[in-house]
Structure 1
Amino acid sequence: MQGLLKLALRNIFRHRGRTAMTLASIVFGVVALILAGGFIEDTIIETGEATIRSNTGHIQVARRGYWEYGSQQPEHYLIDDVEGLRRLMAAMDGVADVMFRLGFSGLLGNGRSDWPIIGEGVEPDREARLASYLTVVSGRRMTDKDRFGMMIGAGVAKALKLGAGDTASLLVSTPGGATNLLDFEIVGVFQTFSKDYDARAVRISLAAAQELLATPGAHLGVLLLKDTAATGSAAEALRRQLDGKEFELRTWLDLDEFYNQTVTLYRQQFGFLTAIILVMLLLSVSNTVNIGIFERVSEFGTMLALGNRASRVFGLIVTESVCLGLIGSLLGVVIGVLLAMSVSQVGIPMPPPPNADQGYISKVLVVPEVIGLAFLTGLLAAVLASILPARKVSRMHIAEALRQGV
């Protein structure tokens, strides 16, 4: 085996022109897969972080049945012991912060017209740690000192022609069936990753929302983790803590169907791209390999005439292709990783995704799984391209093979 490997390497470097063409094809395919896979992986991660950091947090806790029936009867699903639940959630490992929200719907008026909104009473300073993907397009972020301050989505601001410093009236129905009205000062206009959310969303302080709705409770407890990758384990641990209680939880993956659909779409696209590149590599590499093999038919005929078995000739040709695949794939990995790191330093400006207002700066991540797949694709293409011609040459009659050199 060692002699076969030495002979294969000698043959590779003896035919430098064909070797360079074959290596160029493999390197191109491997680099293309690394860059495409890294770009798609970054898009998936950015979309997920935008979802988490714009609105959902990592995990949400509510009274059992809230997500199914809370939109019809939200007053039946209020969390009464807010601080007790906060202490339970905050005591878990890996928790960055815990915040509570009180949801409501109503009409926001500017004195001339009204606009239906979906609002949330939030804890502003805690929400500021979460909402790093929430962009303030005018004014400033709300703080705990803004008891009767309000932030509105860009779509709401456009519909009512409101801006920072303006006053708006919020009309809601309390859980008891009464109607309540409060005036708020617009402190800022925000924009998130979701255009639909921005078109209806307003945020006020949790204290103001509790006063407006005449309730001391909240609807949601939102958990912010230090590491998104720990969402699954944190959810399981919290689920055990809440077992037997009247609460249920959902992770950001459960809450965002659009993200799950996007991930499925991108994964399928990358799988299809991998198949296309594999076929292209097969066609390109097989072309150069075939030319090289059939130019050396008389050489292989001489090996057979000297007593070498057909299996040795077959093994030599395949070993040469394995060596080409290994060298080309390694070069492709090195070049691909360097290019990915270089592109990530600069960034790629991207337009807003579907159903979004904001663009973002994309990177090309260095993903070990993608690198492994690209390496195997380059190696597999080289090996598969050599099998049929190697089988044909190794089975040729000795006289016919020698005649090719005349």
Structure 2
Amino acid sequence: MLIALRNLRRHFRRSLTSLLAIAFGVAAMLTASGFNEAMFDEFREATIRSQFGHIQITRPGFHDKGRSDPYAYLLPREVALDEALLPGGAALAPRLLVNGLASFGEVTLPFMAEGIDPAVDMVDDRSLRMVEGRRLAAGDERQLVLGRGLASQLEVAVGDAIVLLANTPEGHLGAAEAEVVGIFSSFSKEFDDAALLMPIGLARSLVQVEGAHAWLVFLETTGATNALLPSVRDALPAAEFEVQPWHALAEFYARASELFAQQLQLVKGIVVAIILLGIGNTMMMSVLERTGEIGTVMALGTRRAQVLRGFLLEGALLGLLGALIGVVVAFGLGGLLALAQVEMPPPPSFARSYDAALLLTPSMVLETVVIAAVATTLASLYPALRASRMVIVDAIRNGR
């Protein structure tokens, strides 16, 4: 290894150019991966907190047919789940779906609503970002919050009272008046154009039912979902309750993340190709310049396999050193983004912006470093083979 480092230092300018190229490629891969990871971490947590919970308990078949016949899939008012099963910091929250009409002044529009428990549900900015007013709070009874699009179409403001109309399971018409205390923006523009949230007590009174359509389990960390899932399923009769994790329900998130992952693989492929070409050229030039030296050391007894390993080691060291520089640059960029608080415009079909950030995980860094080291080693393979297969007499003669 010391000999390989010395050889790299002998050709300092060429080695430096190669190191900078590798560092740039590694920093580019980590920046793209970290940006993608941070964006989807925000998207994932917002999806979980606002829509599905980490684990969702419903009647069997609710997710397939519940929207068309919601009252056929009602759960009891209290779900038969021992909360002692849940880890510390977890919360169990009911939700009741309500569809109907919202009226203000001369304007009447359809809405999709959810009755929630404001004490434990929709309590942070990831689940619900308020653009005006406040979110629902424990103790609210006749208050609600509207999506920005629905509020704009109804032409209502915080403090206004709107009339809600909805059909009951018996086919009667339920009505209620509620005060608008906030206007929110979620990740989905389509959702914001038709959604409102109300305390579950108001929702039950409006449609004259006592139960809920779903019970959501919220955990402190998303990574604990799969570990808890079997315990929740074992605690509830499968014939009466369907228990699903968030990732089985979030189809849009899965499709979007898969698409971005494929794009990221393309970026990695381009960077690897650049490294292969650049390092391959550098190592070939090194072999040509050191032809006489190679012939001399082989004449003195150095085996061809040792020459091969020496050049491969030089390539691997270039990759490792360049990767370390790239990792430092990527973490520096991440720190600068955190300080600058750059606000990114909302992606297509999204309703709100988000802060640019890099989320660099240990596995991501390790993968990138390994890719760089393997790529540079592979790039050194042909020059190393050429060097190890030289005819000793011809190599010494060409070196003179």
Q: Tell me the CA shift for residue 401 of structure 1.
A: 1.6
What amino acid maps onto 1:260 in structure 2?
A
Q: How does 1:81-92 map to 2 (within 5 A)?
A: 82-85=77-80, 88-89=82-83, 91-92=85-86
1:274 to 247, 258, 268: 268
Aligned to 1:69: 65
- Tell me, in whole angstroms, the C-alpha distance in 1 between the residues paired with 2:26 and 2:69: 56
The reply on whether 1:378 has 2:372 as its aligned counterpart is: yes
8 Å CA contact 2:145–2:182 kept in 1: the answer is yes
Q: Tell me the CA shift for residue 226 of structure 1.
A: 1.2
Q: Tell me the CA shift for residue 277 of structure 1.
A: 0.7
Aligned to 1:25: 21
- Tell me, in whole angstroms, the C-alpha distance in 1 between the residues paired with 2:367 and 2:19: 18
The reply on whether 1:399 has 2:393 as its aligned counterpart is: yes
8 Å CA contact 1:136–1:190 kept in 2: the answer is yes
- Tell me, in whole angstroms, the C-alpha distance in 2 between the residues paired with 1:126 and 1:8: 61
8 Å CA contact 2:78–2:211 kept in 1: the answer is no
2:214 to 206, 216, 220: 220
Question: What's the Cα RMSD here?
Answer: 2.0
What amino acid maps onto 1:42 in structure 2?
A
Aligned to 2:53: 57
Aligned residues: percent identity?
35
The reply on whether 1:151 has 2:145 as its aligned counterpart is: yes
Distance 1:237 1:260, change over 3 A: same
Q: Which digits, 9 at most, give the CA deviation of each residue in 1:213-259, with x for residues without a partner?
A: 11111111121111111111222211111134511122222222111
8 Å CA contact 1:94–1:227 kept in 2: the answer is no
8 Å CA contact 1:54–1:130 kept in 2: the answer is no
Distance 1:94 1:273, change over 3 A: farther
The reply on whether 1:316 has 2:310 as its aligned counterpart is: yes
The reply on whether 1:361 has 2:355 as its aligned counterpart is: yes
Aligned to 2:131: 137
Q: How does 1:5-404 map to 2 (within 5 A)?
A: 5-80=1-76, 82-85=77-80, 88-89=82-83, 91-129=85-123, 132-244=126-238, 246-404=240-398
8 Å CA contact 1:278–1:378 kept in 2: the answer is yes
**Mean CA deviation greater in 234-243 or 42-51:** 234-243
Distance 1:101 1:317, change over 3 A: closer
SS of the aligned residue for 2:175 comes to: strand
What amino acid maps onto 1:230 in structure 2?
A
What amino acid maps onto 2:119 in structure 1?
D
SS of the aligned residue for 1:366 comes to: coil
What amino acid maps onto 2:227 in structure 1?
S
Q: TM-score scaled by structure 2? A: 0.93
8 Å CA contact 2:4–2:310 kept in 1: the answer is yes
Q: TM-score scaled by structure 1? A: 0.92
- Tell me, in whole angstroms, the C-alpha distance in 1 between the residues paired with 2:125 and 2:189: 16
Q: Tell me the CA shift for residue 132 of structure 1.
A: 4.0
Distance 1:259 1:128, change over 3 A: closer
SS of the aligned residue for 2:169 comes to: coil
Structure 2: state its 5+ residue gaps: none
**Mean CA deviation greater in 349-358 or 142-151:** 142-151
Q: Tell me the CA shift for residue 76 of structure 1.
A: 1.6
**Number of residue pairs matched by the alignment:** 400
Distance 1:242 1:130, change over 3 A: farther
- Tell me, in whole angstroms, the C-alpha distance in 1 between the residues paired with 2:301 and 2:208: 97
Q: Which digits, 9 at most, give the CA deviation of each residue in 1:109-164, with x for residues without a partner?
A: 11312111111222222224366431222222223433222211111111111111
Q: Which digits, 9 at most, give the CA deviation of each residue in 1:178-224, with x for residues without a partner?
A: 11222222222111111111111112221122111111111111211
SS of the aligned residue for 1:126 comes to: coil
8 Å CA contact 1:63–1:78 kept in 2: the answer is yes
